[in-house]
């Protein structure tokens, strides 16, 4: 028997299988999808079995023999093996990269560690009761031993809970034995809550989802309309059919509350999947799914690869979120994978959002997706009133951070014993530190970006490569004047200003800096829920999904950072961001208020945000996209060439552009080459070409060819990004 094995290296030149002989003793056990150890060159490495055959290959090389199978209990099933090929074709990554992406670190092919299993050790009687009784009669003075034997008479006990020296004696005598049982590290015991009776609108949406058909639904529900409750009702039906649910959420900050709601409803039938878990925890959750001990998987992007073999439903919550596209290789969209998997299992896919992406809404309008609207907030909660504040006159009054309006509203809110959320899309103290005399700014020597000042550490940091320097004094390194000042705003700066303005209230900051420690997120969120804080300051981390009934005021310190992004999606993103942020206000019976500060009070996007007019913004943006030929009116691919040497890299991108121009359909548009928005990152120069097309049958093949040409190129890399998020 022979096995075709894909080796562990994720390089294009080894993106094919090698044939190995399967030794006699493994022939009955070996299966496609298993991890094996193999001799390769002069080393032993690992690989995946891609196929098995009895036919002897006609190869001029000597055929080597597989050493062993690693972890016989865990293998990729047929669906996931095929999904790997799908992922490879969709993103042009190597097949090994595709498989590696699907597995938690503990199970990745090149991981040497044998086992991550965690065991609980028990002790139990190893003789019949008569023998035990006889022993007790003959050893009346061994009180401790008798105590143990009497405990074990009623059943096993945890080893740690009985006296150890006496136990040792009993084990030696053969009266008692140890047993091991593998356990899961995560075991949430929470109070169970009953399900709500659905509102009329929720019921309508819920009823339309056909669990026995492959169809995609767009659940478009305003913030607070109870989308999660609809998900949970659907999930329950799927579990009742004996099937499994995968639910994706954008990021960890969101999982806390939503995961808790799922635990409260479904107990330990839930497995979680996100980057903040330890390797052991991830391994356990993976195994829990494989063993059928969890029917609901809740997690971030990669949870879409969860090894469920009887999938009944996939939910993508906050479907517009850009976290569903992986930013590095393989650049996959969770949505594409979800569609493939639901097709395979003939089950529905539900996309939920208060602000669906233009692409999804366009598909819903065309009837490709079934549209399920939820237009009202649950209960008495009303959509909050949104007020736009022009910051130009405020600046004249020296109100650099808070307008008078916002200050007043904060006071009001605090006096009513309610909570305030202040939102800013920038962490750090201030965005820009520069010299007021000569205009000098601190830039990262390795990246094409200015450094951000972090007051707590008194450091200037690069947010791309972690380069940092101390800010010594306010003397300019260029002109030596005492004129270094800070401009722009960061969460840290707002925090210190707020603490000064409202000294008797408790303030908490939630951003990447304050939540980097494990568990820090949950702690802050619990603190907010328990009203340990009055004012919450945060980045986009606080914008989505969180549900705090006592937050009645939301302030957006500066809407312009998002509006001014040089990206064709900035209007769409700003609407969705501000709408989500606004959605944090007034989620219970208390009326909410939102204040948005800007220097562009007449901006169209802000107008639609103010009127909570998703469709208005949708039509406006779609019109722009049509005129400017942007997605969803065309497909887009970014091709980037990166390298350490400026000249070599810039010449290469020109060659690539020519190659593409000579190998495309007439209607396909090639834009560039240009430098990337981030021109230099970690000393690597970056150039790009944008391809826009509507119908081009050859384009993917052309790109595959192009990709191959880079296999032997030293110091030059090509990145092919299909449906890029930012350009």
Rounded distance between C-alpha atoms, residue 83 and residue 100, angstroms: 12
Sheet strands side by side (includes 716-722):
669-681, 684-693, 635-643, 716-722
Annotate each residue in 403-442 with x if it binds Zn ion (CB under 5 A) or - if it does not, as one string. ----------------------------------------
Token pair 């143990």 is at which residue? 148
Q: In the structure encoding, which two tokens stand for residue 516, read together?
A: 């980097």
- Residue 463 near which of Zn ion, ligand ADP, none (CB within 5-8 Å, type-dependent): none
Instruction: Say if residues 30 and 47 touch (Cβ distance below 8 Å).
Output: no
Instruction: Establish if 356 lies at the interface with ligand ADP (CB under 6 A).
Output: no
Instruction: Establish if 684 lies at the interface with Zn ion (CB under 5 A).
Output: no
- Residue 342 near which of Zn ion, ligand ADP, none (CB within 5-8 Å, type-dependent): none
Which one of 80, 272, 378, 634 is in contact with ligand ADP (CB under 6 A)?
Answer: 378
Using the minimum distance from each CB to ligand ADP, give the nearer residue, 22 or 381. Answer: 381
Count the alpha carbons within 13 Å of 219 in the hemisphere toward its beta carbon: 31
Rounded distance between C-alpha atoms, residue 532 and residue 419, angstroms: 10
- Stretch of 170-178, 218-226, 405-413, 474-482 lying at the interface with ligand ADP (CB under 6 A): 218-226
Instruction: Say if residues 596 and 609 touch (Cβ distance below 8 Å).
Output: yes
Instruction: Establish if 529 lies at the interface with ligand ADP (CB under 6 A).
Output: no
Longest Cα pair distance anywhere in the chain, in angstroms?
98
Rounded distance between C-alpha atoms, residue 23 and residue 68, angstroms: 9
Which one of 279, 293, 385, 547 is in contact with ligand ADP (CB under 6 A)?
Answer: 547
Instruction: Establish if 285 lies at the interface with ligand ADP (CB under 6 A).
Output: no
Q: Give the residues across from 632 on adjacent strands.
A: none
- Residue 198 near which of ligand ADP, Zn ion, none (CB within 5-8 Å, type-dependent): ligand ADP
Rounded distance between C-alpha atoms, residue 688 and residue 326, angstroms: 18
- Stretch of 4-12, 194-202, 513-521, 712-720 lying at the interface with ligand ADP (CB under 6 A): 194-202
- Residue 225 near which of ligand ADP, Zn ion, none (CB within 5-8 Å, type-dependent): ligand ADP
Using the minimum distance from each CB to Zn ion, give the nearer residue, 467 or 693. Answer: 467
- Stretch of 165-173, 222-230, 361-369, 384-392 lying at the interface with ligand ADP (CB under 6 A): 222-230
Q: Respond yes or no on whether the N-terminal peptide bond of residue 632 is cis (omega within 30° of 0).
A: yes
Instruction: Establish if 443 lies at the interface with Zn ion (CB under 5 A).
Output: no
How far does Cα 450 stand from its chain's mean position? 27
Q: Give the residues across from 685 on adjacent strands.
A: 643, 680
Where are the extended beta strands (E) located within 26-117? 35-40, 43-53, 68-70
Rounded distance between C-alpha atoms, residue 468 and residue 470, angstroms: 7
* Count of chain residues binding ligand ADP (CB under 6 A): 15
Q: Phi-psi bin for 317: left (phi > 0), alpha (psi -120 to 50), beta?
A: beta
Using the minimum distance from each CB to ligand ADP, give the nearer residue, 163 or 589. Answer: 589
| Nearest approach, Cβ of residue 509 and ligand ADP (Å) | 24
Instruction: Establish if 199 lies at the interface with ligand ADP (CB under 6 A).
Output: yes
Which one of 64, 108, 156, 446 is in contact with Zn ion (CB under 5 A)?
Answer: 446
DSSP 14: G
Which one of 158, 179, 196, 708 is in contact with ligand ADP (CB under 6 A)?
Answer: 196
- Residue 221 near which of ligand ADP, Zn ion, none (CB within 5-8 Å, type-dependent): ligand ADP
Instruction: Establish if 546 lies at the interface with ligand ADP (CB under 6 A).
Output: no
- Residue 502 near which of ligand ADP, Zn ion, none (CB within 5-8 Å, type-dependent): none
Instruction: Establish if 390 lies at the interface with ligand ADP (CB under 6 A).
Output: no
Which one of 97, 202, 434, 558 is in contact with ligand ADP (CB under 6 A)?
Answer: 202
Instruction: Establish if 229 lies at the interface with ligand ADP (CB under 6 A).
Output: yes
Using the Cα atoms of residue 296, residue 302, residue 306 and residue 311 in order, give the sign of their dihedral: positive
Q: How far apart are the first and last CA of the chain?
A: 50
Instruction: Establish if 451 lies at the interface with Zn ion (CB under 5 A).
Output: no
Token pair 């003789």 is at which residue? 127
- Residue 202 near which of ligand ADP, Zn ion, none (CB within 5-8 Å, type-dependent): ligand ADP
Cβ-Cβ contacts under 8 Å for 306 (sequence gap 6 or more)? 246, 271, 273, 286, 289, 297, 299
Annotate each residue in 442-481 with x if it binds ligand ADP (CB under 6 A) or - if it does not, as one string. ----------------------------------------
Instruction: Establish if 204 lies at the interface with ligand ADP (CB under 6 A).
Output: no
Neighbours of 613 (CB within 10 A): 15
Instruction: Say if residues 624 and 571 touch (Cβ distance below 8 Å).
Output: yes
> Residue 574: enclosing H or E segment and its boundaries?
helix 570-582
Using the minimum distance from each CB to ligand ADP, give the nearer residue, 99 or 262. Answer: 262
Which one of 88, 94, 101, 228 is in contact with ligand ADP (CB under 6 A)?
Answer: 228
- Residue 378 near which of Zn ion, ligand ADP, none (CB within 5-8 Å, type-dependent): ligand ADP
Instruction: Establish if 225 lies at the interface with ligand ADP (CB under 6 A).
Output: yes
Using the minimum distance from each CB to ligand ADP, give the nearer residue, 355 or 617. Answer: 355
Rounded distance between C-alpha atoms, residue 249 and residue 268, angstroms: 19
- Stretch of 164-172, 217-225, 439-447, 678-686 lying at the interface with ligand ADP (CB under 6 A): 217-225
Using the Cα atoms of residue 105, residue 109, residue 111 and residue 116 in order, give the sign of their dihedral: positive
Using the minimum distance from each CB to ligand ADP, give the nearer residue, 45 or 198. Answer: 198
- Residue 446 near which of ligand ADP, Zn ion, none (CB within 5-8 Å, type-dependent): Zn ion
| Contacting Zn ion within 463-492 (CB under 5 A) | 464-465, 467
Q: 646-662 vs 699-709: helix axis angle to the nearest 10?
A: 150
Instruction: Say if residues 245 and 233 touch (Cβ distance below 8 Å).
Output: no
- Residue 464 near which of Zn ion, ligand ADP, none (CB within 5-8 Å, type-dependent): Zn ion
Q: Respond yes or no on whether the N-terminal peptide bond of residue 624 is cis (omega within 30° of 0).
A: no
> What are the residues binding ligand ADP (CB under 6 A)?
196-199, 202, 221, 223-229, 378, 547
> What are the residues binding Zn ion (CB under 5 A)?
444, 446-447, 462, 464-465, 467
């Amino acid at each position: 028997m022979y096995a075709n094995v894909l080796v562990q290296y994720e390089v294009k030149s080894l993106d094919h299988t090698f044939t190995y002989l399967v030794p006699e003793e493994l022939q009955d056990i070996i299966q496609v999808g298993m991890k094996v150890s193999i001799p390769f060159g002069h080393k032993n490495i690992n690989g995946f079995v891609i196929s098995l055959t009895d036919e002897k290959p006609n190869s001029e090389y000597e055929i080597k023999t597989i050493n062993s199978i690693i972890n016989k209990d865990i293998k990729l099933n047929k669906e996931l093996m095929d999904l790997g090929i799908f992922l490879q074709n969709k993103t042009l990554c190597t097949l090994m990269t595709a498989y590696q992406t699907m597995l938690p670190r503990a199970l990745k092919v090149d991981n040497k560690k044998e086992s991550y299993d965690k065991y609980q050790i028990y002790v139990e009687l190893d003789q019949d009761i008569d023998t035990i009784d006889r022993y007790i009669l003959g050893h009346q003075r061994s009180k401790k031993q008798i105590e143990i034997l009497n405990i074990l008479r009623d059943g096993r006990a945890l080893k740690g809970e009985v006296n150890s020296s006496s136990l040792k004696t009993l084990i030696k005598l053969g009266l008692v034995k140890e047993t091991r049982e593998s356990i899961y590290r995560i075991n949430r015991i929470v109070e169970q809550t009953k399900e709500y009776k659905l509102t009329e609108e929720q019921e309508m949406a819920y009823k339309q989802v056909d669990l026995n058909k492959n169809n995609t639904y767009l659940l478009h529900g305003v913030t607070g309309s109870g989308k999660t409750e609809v998900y949970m009702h659907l999930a329950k039906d799927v579990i009742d059919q004996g099937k499994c649910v995968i639910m994706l959420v954008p990021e960890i900050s969101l999982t806390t509350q939503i995961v808790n709601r799922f635990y409260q409803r479904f107990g330990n039938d839930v497995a979680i999947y996100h980057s903040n878990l330890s390797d052991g925890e991830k391994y356990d959750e993976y195994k829990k799914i494989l063993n059928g001990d969890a029917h609901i998987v809740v997690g971030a992007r990669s949870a879409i690869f969860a090894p469920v073999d009887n999938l009944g439903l996939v939910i993508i919550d906050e479907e517009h979120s850009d976290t569903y596209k992986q930013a590095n290789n393989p650049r996959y969209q969770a949505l594409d994978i979800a569609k493939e998997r639901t097709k395979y299992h003939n089950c529905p896919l539900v996309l939920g959002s208060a602000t669906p992406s233009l692409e999804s809404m366009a598909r819903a309008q065309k009837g490709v997706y079934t549209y399920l609207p939820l237009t009202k907030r649950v209960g008495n909660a009303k959509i909050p009133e949104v007020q736009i504040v022009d910051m130009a006159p405020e600046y004249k009054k020296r109100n650099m951070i808070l307008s008078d309006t916002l200050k007043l509203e904060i006071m009001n809110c605090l006096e009513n014993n309610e909570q305030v959320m202040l939102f800013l899309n920038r962490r750090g103290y201030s965005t820009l530190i520069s010299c007021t005399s000569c205009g000098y700014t601190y830039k990262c020597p390795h990246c094409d970006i200015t450094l951000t000042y972090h007051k707590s550490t008194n450091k200037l940091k690069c947010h791309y490569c972690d380069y940092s320097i101390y800010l010594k004094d306010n003397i300019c390194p260029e002109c030596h004047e005492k004129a270094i000042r800070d401009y722009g705003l960061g969460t840290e700066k707002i925090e210190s200003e707020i603490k000064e303005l409202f000294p008797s209230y408790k303030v908490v900051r939630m951003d990447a800096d304050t939540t980097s420690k494990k568990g820090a997120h949950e702690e802050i969120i619990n603190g907010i829920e328990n009203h340990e804080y009055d004012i919450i300051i945060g980045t986009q981390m606080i914008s989505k999904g969180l549900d705090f009934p006592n937050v009645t005021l939301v302030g957006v310190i500066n809407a312009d950072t998002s509006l001014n992004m040089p990206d064709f999606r900035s209007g769409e993103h700003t609407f969705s961001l501000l709408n989500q942020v606004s959605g944090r206000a007034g989620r219970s019976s208390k009326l909410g208020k939102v204040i948005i500060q800007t220097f562009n009070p007449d901006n169209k996007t802000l107008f639609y945000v103010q009127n909570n007019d998703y469709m208005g913004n949708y039509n406006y943006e779609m019109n722009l996209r049509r005129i400017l030929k942007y997605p969803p009116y065309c497909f887009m691919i970014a091709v980037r060439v990166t390298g350490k040497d400026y000249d070599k890299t810039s010449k290469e991108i020109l060659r690539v552009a020519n190659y593409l121009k000579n190998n495309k359909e007439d209607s396909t548009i090639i834009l560039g080459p240009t430098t990337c928005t981030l021109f230099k990152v970690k000393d690597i120069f970056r150039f790009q070409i944008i391809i826009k097309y509507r119908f081009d049958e050859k384009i993917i093949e052309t790109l595959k060819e192009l990709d191959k040409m880079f296999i032997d190129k030293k110091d030059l890399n090509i990145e092919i990004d299909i449906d890029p998020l930012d350009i």
